[in-house]
Amino acid sequence: MLTTDSFGRFSIPVMLGAEDALGEGRVSVFLCDVRGDPERERRYLRTLLSRRVDGIIVAGRRVDVRPPVGTDLPVPVVYAMTQSENRADLSVLPDDEGGGYLAAEHLVSQGRLRIGHITGPERFACARRRADGAVSALGRAGLTLAGDRPLFGQWSEAWGREAAARLLDLEPATDAIFCGSDQIARGVADYLRESGRRVPDDIALVGFDNWDVMAEACRPPLTTIDPNLTELGRVAARELLAAIEGGSAGGVRTVSCRLVVRQSSAAPRVLAAVPSPGRRALVADARGPGRQPFRAPEMSPRT
């Protein structure tokens, strides 16, 4: 496994899932941290191929399109939590749009009518897709976003505090906020508490990532969308095994997110992990029922 996620926040759950799936066949996993350095990646790739590995999983920290690790390689390659720009390659991604839909649908089910969305930089494909999913769910309920548009910014608590103040200035009647990450939601929760608003009584709050460091330490504990990264790793490993045996095709596979309900959006009595209703469980092809054909986002400068 080659990973660009030096922090391990995304690659470690993916690796654990891959090990679960590969362990059934007693296959070992070697983890190489390329640290976002193309030359380091090429060096690790040469080393792995010289040691005659059977296949390679390329894991990222975001789903944006990236160049393939190589062409005409002697072993199959599967991309996980990142996407190759070569459509012939197989990429396994979380269903970010479905996760955004699920978050907004949950808030509507709680009787919320003025729902805002605060998220990260617009250049990130996951931020755009989560926003699209939320807008779609609200549209189905006959609602629009509070403030009329998503507030794109940074993946930080500071941005959460700043954007919450901005949103409530634009739309004082806001009664729920869906955040594109748990870190942003933590900042929003701090601002709401400091401004005298109660969560969830006055404003319900939902995050994204199910990052326990953030979600469980939030006051109150944060309802969030879990991107199922461990399952994503399992799927990537199974697809790699199929490719090794000559039975896997390229394209994009998506893994469904799930809703984890805590006190920030509903009473403690409904604590649960709720799968996405009406969406295909675990793995859904990008051309699955009710979904538009997948189109790769336009390339943007990598940071």
pLDDT tens digits along 23-77? 776 788 888 988 888 899 999 999 999 999 999 999 988 788 999 998 889 999 9
pLDDT, residue 138, reads 98
Q: Are residues 100 and 195 in the same domain?
A: yes
- Whether residue 109 is found in the same domain as residue 212: yes
- 33 is a domain residue: yes
The span from the CA of 42 to the CA of 4, in Å, is 12
Predicted pLDDT at 30: 87
- Could you tell me if 211 and 247 lie in one domain? no
278: left (phi over 0), alpha (psi -120 to 50) or beta: left
Rounded to whole angstroms, how far apart are CA atoms 113 and 104?
10
What's the CATH code of the domain at 211?
Answer: 3.40.50.2300
Which of these, 69, 177, 49, 189, lies nearest to 118 by C-alpha position?
Answer: 177
**Residue at 17 is within a domain:** yes
pLDDT value for 299: 33
d(C-alpha 176, C-alpha 200), whole Å: 8
pLDDT attached to residue 280: 33
Same domain, 17 and 86: yes
pLDDT under 50 in the chain at which residues?
Answer: 267-303
Domain count across the chain: 2
* CA dist., res. 251 & res. 245, Å (int): 17
Full residue range of the structural domain in which residue 35 is found = 2-94+228-255
